Amino acid sequence: MRASIRCIAMLSLFFMPIAAFARSTQSKQAAGTTKPMEKKPFGATPDGKASDLYILTNKNGMEVSITNYGGIVTSIKVPDRNGKLGDVALGYDTLDGYVGDKVYIGATVGRYCNRIGHAEFSIDGAKYTLAKNNGDNTLHGGIKGFNKMLWEARDVSKEGEPALELKYTSRDMEEGFPGNLAATVVFTLTNKNELKIEYTATTDKKTVVNLTNHSYFNLAGPGSGDVLKTVIRIEADKFTPVDSGLIPTGDLKKVQGTPFDFRKPTEIGARIEQDDEQLNLGKGYDHNFVLIKNKPNGLTLAARAEEPTTGRVLEVWTTEPGIQLYTGNFLDGSIHGKGGIAYTKRGAFCLETQHFPDSPNHSNFPSTLLSPGQRYHTTTVYKFSAK
Ligand code: GLA
Protein backbone atom coordinates (compact mmCIF):
# COMPACT_ATOMS: atom_id res chain seq x y z
CA MET A 1 0.00 0.00 0.00
CA ARG A 2 2.69 2.37 1.13
CA ALA A 3 4.80 1.35 -1.83
CA SER A 4 2.03 2.15 -4.29
CA ILE A 5 1.44 5.61 -2.70
CA ARG A 6 5.16 6.30 -3.04
CA CYS A 7 5.00 5.12 -6.63
CA ILE A 8 2.09 7.46 -7.47
CA ALA A 9 3.89 10.34 -5.79
CA MET A 10 7.03 9.66 -7.81
CA LEU A 11 5.09 9.32 -11.04
CA SER A 12 3.28 12.63 -10.46
CA LEU A 13 6.59 14.33 -9.75
CA PHE A 14 7.81 13.01 -13.06
CA PHE A 15 4.73 14.07 -15.04
CA MET A 16 4.17 17.48 -13.41
CA PRO A 17 6.74 19.36 -15.46
CA ILE A 18 5.43 17.74 -18.66
CA ALA A 19 1.87 18.84 -17.83
CA ALA A 20 3.09 22.35 -17.04
CA PHE A 21 4.98 22.50 -20.34
CA ALA A 22 1.88 21.37 -22.25
CA ARG A 23 -0.22 24.03 -20.48
CA SER A 24 2.26 26.78 -21.31
CA THR A 25 2.34 25.76 -24.99
CA GLN A 26 -1.46 25.78 -25.11
CA SER A 27 -1.69 29.26 -23.60
CA LYS A 28 1.01 30.55 -25.95
CA GLN A 29 -0.99 29.22 -28.89
CA ALA A 30 -4.22 30.76 -27.63
CA ALA A 31 -2.59 34.18 -27.31
CA GLY A 32 -0.42 33.94 -30.42
CA THR A 33 -0.97 32.83 -33.98
CA THR A 34 -3.28 29.98 -32.97
CA LYS A 35 -2.82 27.97 -36.16
CA PRO A 36 0.56 27.27 -37.71
CA MET A 37 0.83 27.88 -41.43
CA GLU A 38 -1.08 25.19 -43.26
CA LYS A 39 0.26 23.62 -46.45
CA LYS A 40 -1.90 21.75 -48.95
CA PRO A 41 -1.08 20.22 -52.35
CA PHE A 42 -2.38 22.52 -55.12
CA GLY A 43 -1.82 20.31 -58.17
CA ALA A 44 0.82 19.78 -60.83
CA THR A 45 2.16 22.56 -63.08
CA PRO A 46 2.12 22.02 -66.88
CA ASP A 47 5.67 20.64 -66.63
CA GLY A 48 4.65 18.12 -63.99
CA LYS A 49 5.98 19.80 -60.83
CA ALA A 50 3.97 19.79 -57.62
CA SER A 51 2.69 23.15 -56.40
CA ASP A 52 1.35 23.91 -52.94
CA LEU A 53 -1.10 26.26 -51.31
CA TYR A 54 -0.07 27.93 -48.04
CA ILE A 55 -2.75 29.20 -45.72
CA LEU A 56 -1.67 31.92 -43.29
CA THR A 57 -3.99 32.73 -40.38
CA ASN A 58 -3.39 35.45 -37.82
CA LYS A 59 -4.67 35.65 -34.27
CA ASN A 60 -7.75 37.62 -35.40
CA GLY A 61 -8.77 34.88 -37.81
CA MET A 62 -7.80 36.85 -40.93
CA GLU A 63 -6.66 34.34 -43.53
CA VAL A 64 -4.49 34.73 -46.64
CA SER A 65 -3.77 31.90 -49.08
CA ILE A 66 -0.76 31.95 -51.37
CA THR A 67 0.53 29.41 -53.86
CA ASN A 68 4.17 28.99 -54.79
CA TYR A 69 2.99 28.79 -58.43
CA GLY A 70 3.50 32.36 -59.59
CA GLY A 71 3.71 33.66 -56.02
CA ILE A 72 -0.04 34.14 -56.36
CA VAL A 73 -2.26 35.38 -53.53
CA THR A 74 -5.36 33.25 -54.09
CA SER A 75 -7.60 34.60 -51.34
CA ILE A 76 -7.73 37.27 -48.63
CA LYS A 77 -10.40 36.74 -46.00
CA VAL A 78 -11.04 39.77 -43.82
CA PRO A 79 -13.87 40.86 -41.49
CA ASP A 80 -16.50 43.43 -42.45
CA ARG A 81 -17.92 45.97 -39.98
CA ASN A 82 -20.00 43.20 -38.33
CA GLY A 83 -16.98 40.94 -37.98
CA LYS A 84 -18.13 38.69 -40.84
CA LEU A 85 -15.17 37.18 -42.64
CA GLY A 86 -15.27 37.39 -46.44
CA ASP A 87 -12.89 36.93 -49.35
CA VAL A 88 -11.99 40.25 -50.98
CA ALA A 89 -9.65 38.99 -53.71
CA LEU A 90 -10.47 37.60 -57.13
CA GLY A 91 -9.06 34.18 -57.91
CA TYR A 92 -9.69 30.65 -59.16
CA ASP A 93 -10.58 27.46 -57.32
CA THR A 94 -7.80 25.37 -58.84
CA LEU A 95 -4.25 25.65 -60.12
CA ASP A 96 -5.48 25.17 -63.71
CA GLY A 97 -7.29 28.50 -63.46
CA TYR A 98 -4.02 30.24 -62.66
CA VAL A 99 -2.08 28.31 -65.32
CA GLY A 100 -4.56 29.53 -67.96
CA ASP A 101 -4.94 33.04 -66.51
CA LYS A 102 -4.00 35.96 -68.77
CA VAL A 103 -4.92 38.85 -66.48
CA TYR A 104 -2.40 38.24 -63.68
CA ILE A 105 -4.97 37.62 -60.93
CA GLY A 106 -3.22 37.80 -57.54
CA ALA A 107 0.19 37.24 -59.10
CA THR A 108 3.73 38.26 -58.26
CA VAL A 109 4.68 40.14 -61.41
CA GLY A 110 8.27 40.39 -62.73
CA ARG A 111 10.97 40.75 -63.82
CA TYR A 112 9.50 44.06 -64.92
CA CYS A 113 5.85 44.73 -64.07
CA ASN A 114 3.71 46.97 -66.28
CA ARG A 115 4.90 47.99 -69.73
CA ILE A 116 8.19 48.49 -71.53
CA GLY A 117 7.65 50.49 -74.73
CA HIS A 118 8.48 48.88 -78.09
CA ALA A 119 9.70 45.87 -76.07
CA GLU A 120 13.23 47.22 -75.84
CA PHE A 121 15.63 49.13 -73.64
CA SER A 122 19.36 49.76 -73.42
CA ILE A 123 21.91 49.52 -70.66
CA ASP A 124 25.33 51.12 -71.21
CA GLY A 125 24.65 51.27 -74.95
CA ALA A 126 23.74 47.57 -75.25
CA LYS A 127 20.24 47.07 -76.61
CA TYR A 128 17.97 44.36 -75.18
CA THR A 129 14.94 43.15 -77.11
CA LEU A 130 12.00 41.59 -75.29
CA ALA A 131 8.91 39.71 -76.42
CA LYS A 132 5.97 41.84 -77.58
CA ASN A 133 3.06 40.41 -75.62
CA ASN A 134 0.93 43.57 -75.50
CA GLY A 135 0.67 45.20 -78.93
CA ASP A 136 4.09 46.60 -79.68
CA ASN A 137 5.11 46.45 -76.03
CA THR A 138 6.15 44.08 -73.26
CA LEU A 139 3.69 43.68 -70.41
CA HIS A 140 4.35 42.21 -66.94
CA GLY A 141 7.64 40.45 -67.66
CA GLY A 142 6.91 38.99 -71.09
CA ILE A 143 5.40 35.77 -72.35
CA LYS A 144 6.37 33.66 -69.34
CA GLY A 145 6.83 36.05 -66.45
CA PHE A 146 7.39 35.38 -62.77
CA ASN A 147 3.65 34.75 -62.44
CA LYS A 148 4.00 31.46 -64.34
CA MET A 149 7.05 30.15 -62.47
CA LEU A 150 7.22 27.70 -59.60
CA TRP A 151 8.88 29.36 -56.60
CA GLU A 152 10.74 27.59 -53.80
CA ALA A 153 8.81 28.02 -50.56
CA ARG A 154 9.90 28.18 -46.92
CA ASP A 155 7.99 28.86 -43.73
CA VAL A 156 9.68 31.87 -42.11
CA SER A 157 7.00 32.61 -39.48
CA LYS A 158 8.14 34.40 -36.37
CA GLU A 159 6.84 36.08 -33.23
CA GLY A 160 3.35 34.67 -33.61
CA GLU A 161 2.99 35.94 -37.20
CA PRO A 162 2.84 33.54 -40.15
CA ALA A 163 5.24 34.33 -42.99
CA LEU A 164 6.00 32.61 -46.28
CA GLU A 165 9.23 33.11 -48.21
CA LEU A 166 9.28 32.43 -51.95
CA LYS A 167 12.46 32.33 -53.99
CA TYR A 168 12.96 32.26 -57.73
CA THR A 169 16.11 32.71 -59.79
CA SER A 170 15.45 34.10 -63.23
CA ARG A 171 18.27 33.09 -65.55
CA ASP A 172 20.39 35.40 -67.67
CA MET A 173 18.43 36.47 -70.80
CA GLU A 174 15.18 34.88 -69.62
CA GLU A 175 12.46 36.75 -71.56
CA GLY A 176 15.34 38.86 -72.93
CA PHE A 177 16.45 40.43 -69.61
CA PRO A 178 20.19 40.38 -68.84
CA GLY A 179 21.66 38.86 -65.66
CA ASN A 180 20.81 35.98 -63.37
CA LEU A 181 18.37 37.60 -60.99
CA ALA A 182 17.82 35.98 -57.59
CA ALA A 183 14.45 37.20 -56.33
CA THR A 184 12.85 36.65 -52.93
CA VAL A 185 9.37 37.62 -51.83
CA VAL A 186 8.31 37.34 -48.20
CA PHE A 187 4.61 37.50 -47.39
CA THR A 188 3.84 38.16 -43.70
CA LEU A 189 0.36 38.23 -42.24
CA THR A 190 0.63 40.46 -39.20
CA ASN A 191 -1.68 40.53 -36.22
CA LYS A 192 -2.65 44.06 -37.28
CA ASN A 193 -4.47 42.54 -40.29
CA GLU A 194 -1.75 43.56 -42.70
CA LEU A 195 -0.46 41.53 -45.60
CA LYS A 196 3.13 42.72 -45.79
CA ILE A 197 5.07 41.89 -48.95
CA GLU A 198 8.84 42.38 -49.06
CA TYR A 199 10.70 41.96 -52.31
CA THR A 200 14.46 41.58 -52.60
CA ALA A 201 16.66 40.80 -55.58
CA THR A 202 20.29 40.67 -56.61
CA THR A 203 21.86 40.26 -60.03
CA ASP A 204 25.19 39.24 -61.56
CA LYS A 205 24.86 41.67 -64.53
CA LYS A 206 23.25 45.08 -64.84
CA THR A 207 19.52 44.61 -65.38
CA VAL A 208 16.17 46.27 -64.74
CA VAL A 209 13.76 45.15 -62.00
CA ASN A 210 10.25 46.18 -61.04
CA LEU A 211 8.24 43.74 -58.92
CA THR A 212 4.64 44.04 -57.81
CA ASN A 213 1.59 42.11 -56.73
CA HIS A 214 -1.44 42.06 -59.02
CA SER A 215 -4.29 41.32 -56.61
CA TYR A 216 -7.74 42.34 -57.79
CA PHE A 217 -9.83 43.62 -54.90
CA ASN A 218 -13.53 43.86 -54.44
CA LEU A 219 -14.02 44.76 -50.80
CA ALA A 220 -17.68 43.68 -50.88
CA GLY A 221 -16.58 40.31 -52.28
CA PRO A 222 -15.94 39.12 -55.84
CA GLY A 223 -19.20 38.80 -57.73
CA SER A 224 -21.00 41.43 -55.64
CA GLY A 225 -21.18 43.88 -58.54
CA ASP A 226 -18.82 46.59 -59.71
CA VAL A 227 -16.44 48.63 -57.57
CA LEU A 228 -17.65 52.03 -58.79
CA LYS A 229 -19.05 52.96 -55.37
CA THR A 230 -15.80 52.13 -53.59
CA VAL A 231 -14.33 55.38 -52.33
CA ILE A 232 -10.62 55.80 -52.87
CA ARG A 233 -7.94 58.28 -52.01
CA ILE A 234 -4.54 58.27 -53.67
CA GLU A 235 -1.65 60.21 -52.18
CA ALA A 236 -0.52 61.60 -55.51
CA ASP A 237 -0.50 65.08 -56.99
CA LYS A 238 0.78 63.90 -60.38
CA PHE A 239 0.32 60.92 -62.68
CA THR A 240 2.09 59.62 -65.77
CA PRO A 241 -0.12 60.21 -68.84
CA VAL A 242 0.09 57.52 -71.52
CA ASP A 243 -0.09 57.11 -75.29
CA SER A 244 -2.45 54.77 -77.12
CA GLY A 245 -0.29 51.75 -76.16
CA LEU A 246 -0.55 52.80 -72.48
CA ILE A 247 3.13 53.74 -72.49
CA PRO A 248 3.96 56.87 -70.46
CA THR A 249 4.68 59.89 -72.61
CA GLY A 250 7.34 60.94 -70.08
CA ASP A 251 5.27 63.81 -68.66
CA LEU A 252 4.42 64.07 -65.01
CA LYS A 253 1.03 65.71 -65.19
CA LYS A 254 -0.71 67.45 -62.29
CA VAL A 255 -3.88 65.64 -61.18
CA GLN A 256 -5.49 68.92 -60.20
CA GLY A 257 -8.56 69.63 -62.33
CA THR A 258 -8.53 66.14 -63.89
CA PRO A 259 -10.45 62.91 -63.14
CA PHE A 260 -7.15 61.64 -61.71
CA ASP A 261 -7.40 63.82 -58.63
CA PHE A 262 -8.03 61.37 -55.79
CA ARG A 263 -6.40 63.51 -53.12
CA LYS A 264 -9.83 63.74 -51.47
CA PRO A 265 -11.83 60.52 -51.00
CA THR A 266 -13.82 60.02 -54.22
CA GLU A 267 -15.88 57.16 -55.61
CA ILE A 268 -14.01 55.22 -58.29
CA GLY A 269 -17.02 55.68 -60.56
CA ALA A 270 -17.55 59.40 -59.95
CA ARG A 271 -15.66 60.52 -63.08
CA ILE A 272 -14.71 57.27 -64.83
CA GLU A 273 -17.12 57.85 -67.74
CA GLN A 274 -16.00 61.43 -68.36
CA ASP A 275 -14.87 62.22 -71.87
CA ASP A 276 -11.24 62.59 -70.89
CA GLU A 277 -8.42 61.75 -73.29
CA GLN A 278 -6.50 59.70 -70.70
CA LEU A 279 -9.59 57.82 -69.47
CA ASN A 280 -10.50 57.06 -73.08
CA LEU A 281 -7.02 55.66 -73.73
CA GLY A 282 -7.16 53.44 -70.64
CA LYS A 283 -10.85 52.53 -71.09
CA GLY A 284 -11.06 53.74 -67.48
CA TYR A 285 -8.26 54.04 -64.96
CA ASP A 286 -5.14 52.13 -65.98
CA HIS A 287 -2.54 54.67 -64.93
CA ASN A 288 0.47 55.10 -62.70
CA PHE A 289 0.23 57.76 -60.00
CA VAL A 290 3.31 59.59 -58.76
CA LEU A 291 3.20 59.24 -55.00
CA ILE A 292 3.88 62.16 -52.71
CA LYS A 293 6.90 60.91 -50.79
CA ASN A 294 7.91 62.95 -47.79
CA LYS A 295 10.36 60.14 -46.99
CA PRO A 296 11.99 58.98 -50.25
CA ASN A 297 12.11 55.15 -50.19
CA GLY A 298 10.24 55.24 -46.84
CA LEU A 299 7.09 53.24 -46.20
CA THR A 300 4.32 55.78 -46.72
CA LEU A 301 0.57 55.65 -47.26
CA ALA A 302 -0.13 55.44 -50.98
CA ALA A 303 -3.85 54.77 -51.20
CA ARG A 304 -6.94 54.01 -49.18
CA ALA A 305 -10.13 52.35 -50.37
CA GLU A 306 -13.40 52.13 -48.46
CA GLU A 307 -16.40 50.03 -49.44
CA PRO A 308 -19.62 51.60 -48.10
CA THR A 309 -21.88 48.54 -47.75
CA THR A 310 -19.47 46.32 -45.78
CA GLY A 311 -17.37 49.09 -44.23
CA ARG A 312 -14.20 47.29 -45.29
CA VAL A 313 -11.16 49.52 -45.66
CA LEU A 314 -7.93 48.78 -47.48
CA GLU A 315 -4.85 50.91 -47.00
CA VAL A 316 -1.83 50.47 -49.22
CA TRP A 317 1.54 51.49 -47.83
CA THR A 318 4.67 51.28 -49.92
CA THR A 319 8.31 52.24 -50.31
CA GLU A 320 7.74 52.51 -54.08
CA PRO A 321 7.44 55.87 -55.89
CA GLY A 322 4.36 54.87 -57.90
CA ILE A 323 1.06 53.01 -57.85
CA GLN A 324 -1.01 51.80 -60.79
CA LEU A 325 -4.75 52.08 -60.40
CA TYR A 326 -6.37 49.59 -62.75
CA THR A 327 -10.15 49.36 -62.64
CA GLY A 328 -10.64 45.99 -64.32
CA ASN A 329 -11.45 47.65 -67.64
CA PHE A 330 -10.52 44.56 -69.64
CA LEU A 331 -12.57 42.11 -67.57
CA ASP A 332 -15.54 41.19 -69.74
CA GLY A 333 -17.34 38.37 -67.94
CA SER A 334 -15.58 35.67 -69.92
CA ILE A 335 -13.42 34.62 -66.95
CA HIS A 336 -15.14 32.46 -64.38
CA GLY A 337 -13.35 32.53 -61.06
CA LYS A 338 -13.92 31.00 -57.64
CA GLY A 339 -17.30 29.33 -57.34
CA GLY A 340 -17.93 29.92 -61.06
CA ILE A 341 -18.43 33.68 -60.61
CA ALA A 342 -18.06 35.67 -63.84
CA TYR A 343 -15.53 38.47 -63.50
CA THR A 344 -17.15 41.42 -65.19
CA LYS A 345 -15.90 44.85 -66.26
CA ARG A 346 -14.99 47.01 -63.24
CA GLY A 347 -15.83 44.14 -60.90
CA ALA A 348 -12.52 44.76 -59.09
CA PHE A 349 -9.67 47.23 -58.80
CA CYS A 350 -5.92 46.75 -58.55
CA LEU A 351 -3.49 49.00 -56.72
CA GLU A 352 -0.13 47.85 -58.03
CA THR A 353 2.79 49.47 -56.21
CA GLN A 354 5.76 49.93 -58.49
CA HIS A 355 8.36 52.09 -60.18
CA PHE A 356 6.85 53.91 -63.14
CA PRO A 357 6.06 51.94 -66.29
CA ASP A 358 8.69 52.05 -69.04
CA SER A 359 11.26 53.61 -66.68
CA PRO A 360 14.20 52.04 -68.57
CA ASN A 361 13.28 54.37 -71.47
CA HIS A 362 12.71 57.56 -69.44
CA SER A 363 15.78 59.05 -67.78
CA ASN A 364 13.59 61.53 -65.86
CA PHE A 365 11.81 58.66 -64.01
CA PRO A 366 13.29 57.06 -60.86
CA SER A 367 15.70 54.39 -62.05
CA THR A 368 14.87 50.68 -62.15
CA LEU A 369 18.46 49.69 -62.89
CA LEU A 370 20.02 47.06 -60.63
CA SER A 371 23.76 46.44 -60.72
CA PRO A 372 25.83 43.58 -59.31
CA GLY A 373 26.61 44.29 -55.65
CA GLN A 374 23.36 46.24 -55.15
CA ARG A 375 20.29 44.87 -53.44
CA TYR A 376 16.80 45.63 -54.71
CA HIS A 377 14.53 45.91 -51.69
CA THR A 378 10.96 47.20 -51.60
CA THR A 379 8.05 46.77 -49.20
CA THR A 380 4.31 47.04 -49.70
CA VAL A 381 1.67 46.60 -47.02
CA TYR A 382 -2.01 45.93 -47.68
CA LYS A 383 -3.73 46.78 -44.41
CA PHE A 384 -7.37 45.81 -43.81
CA SER A 385 -9.88 47.15 -41.31
CA ALA A 386 -13.60 47.96 -41.15
CA LYS A 387 -15.57 51.08 -40.24
C1 GLA B 1 -2.21 45.87 -65.65
C2 GLA B 1 -2.24 46.67 -66.89
C3 GLA B 1 -3.56 46.55 -67.53
C4 GLA B 1 -3.90 45.11 -67.80
C5 GLA B 1 -3.80 44.33 -66.52
C6 GLA B 1 -3.97 42.86 -66.75
O7 GLA B 1 -2.86 46.44 -64.62
O8 GLA B 1 -1.90 48.00 -66.67
O9 GLA B 1 -3.56 47.27 -68.72
O10 GLA B 1 -3.01 44.59 -68.73
O11 GLA B 1 -2.57 44.53 -65.91
O12 GLA B 1 -5.07 42.56 -67.54
Ligand 1: residue whose CA is nearest its atom 11: 103
Q: Best of 104, 240, 345, 354 to mutate for ligand 1, by most ligand atoms within 8 A of CB?
A: 104
Beta bridge partners of 197: 187, 380
Determine whether the shortest distance from the Cβ of 181 to ligand 1 is under 6 A: no
Rounded Cα–Cα distance for residues 218 and 224 (Å)? 8
Give 246's DSSP letter: S
Going by alpha carbons, the residue nearest to atom 7 of ligand 1 is 326
Centre of ligand 1 to C-alpha 324, Å, is 9
Position 25 pLDDT exceeds 60: no
Number of Cβ within a 10 Å radius of residue 187: 22
Q: How far is the CA of 160 from the centre of ligand 1 (A)?
A: 36
**Rounded to an integer, what is the distance from CA 258 to the centroid of its chain?**
28
**Which residues, 6 or more positions from 385, have their beta carbon under 8 angstroms from its beta carbon?**
193, 312, 313, 315
Nearest-atom number in ligand 1 for the CA of 350 is 7
Buried b / exposed e across 233-260, counting CB within 10 Å, b at 16+? bbbbbbbbbbeeebbbeeeeeebeebbb
Residue 352 a catalytic site member:
yes
Ligand 1 in reach of 112 Cβ (< 6 A) = no
Answer yes or no: is pLDDT of 24 > 80: no
Instruction: Say yes or no: CB of residue 281 within 6 Å of ligand 1.
Output: no
309-350 confidence digits (pLDDT tens): 999 999 999 999 999 999 999 999 999 999 999 999 999 999
Give the model's confidence band at 291: pLDDT under 50 very low, under 70 low, under 90 confident, else very high. Answer: very high
Q: In whole angstroms, what is the distance from residue 324 CA to residue 60 CA?
A: 30
Which one of the listed residues 214, 287, 355, 362 is annotated catalytic? 214
Average pLDDT, the chain: 93
The confidence score (pLDDT) of residue 18 equals: 42
pLDDT confidence tier of residue 6, bands split at 50, 70 and 90: low
Full-model pTM: 0.91
Residue 131, pLDDT above cutoff 60? yes
Q: With a 6 A CB cut-off, is 324 part of the ligand 1 pocket?
A: yes
Pocket test for ligand 1, best of 330, 331, 354 (most atoms within 8 A of CB): 330
pLDDT at 295: 85
Task: State pLDDT tens for residues 136-170.
Answer: 999 999 999 999 999 999 999 998 999 999 999 99
Q: How confident is the model at residue 34 (pLDDT cuts 50, 70, 90)?
A: low
Of the pLDDT bands very low, low, confident and very high (cuts 50, 70, 90), residue 216 is very high
Residue 239 has pLDDT above 90, yes or no: yes
DSSP characters for 2-54?
HHHHHHHHHHHHHHHHHHHHHHHHHHHHHHTTSSPPEEEEEEE-TTS-EEEEE
